[in-house]
Amino acid sequence: MNEALYDAVFGYGEKKVDPFAKAQVDFDRIISDMRLVGYEISSLNIVQQIMLEQLDHLLKIKAGIIEATMDLENRDDFCREKYGLSFKDIDALDPQHDIEWDIKSGQVIFFLAHDALYKEEAYFILFKKAFDIFTEKTGFSYMSH
């Protein structure tokens, strides 16, 4: 990224804040994808692109579980034993609608929407490893209410 573009994207007032300082992601690919579909290159839009990829990853995990247990007669028991949640609880997780994000004080945070807060424990039972890898890779932080 050239310096002028970088300053335009990451400049807040007189201070320069980089919400992506710890991110180890393929910015060239992300920005190229954004340009391809005509998105404005801004820090919030870059966060959105990164978060959408993570939500897609979480949906793939959930879909894999649903597919693997689809034909089981005892899928609730199987899911409780293997994942720590009932099939119904796993099926109720909807990352695309439950997880929101923002940039606050130069840091990217993600959190559960107000109406999904009751699912927080289930999210951390099923997706803790994925969240840990994601936060380490991006420097984004989960904020609990």
Spatial distance between the Cα atoms of 141 and 136, rounded to a whole number of angstroms: 9
Are 99 and 51 contacting, i.e. CB atoms less than 8 angstroms apart?
A: yes
Domain span at residue 55 reads: 3-142
Tell me how many domains the chain contains. Answer: 1
Spatial distance between the Cα atoms of 36 and 95, rounded to a whole number of angstroms: 25
Spatial distance between the Cα atoms of 54 and 63, rounded to a whole number of angstroms: 14
Spatial distance between the Cα atoms of 130 and 99, rounded to a whole number of angstroms: 14
Are 135 and 142 contacting, i.e. CB atoms less than 8 angstroms apart?
A: yes
Q: Which pTM does this prediction carry?
A: 0.84
Render pLDDT for 73-130 as a digit per residue (tens, 0 to 9). 999 999 999 999 999 999 999 999 999 998 887 789 999 999 999 999 999 999 999 9
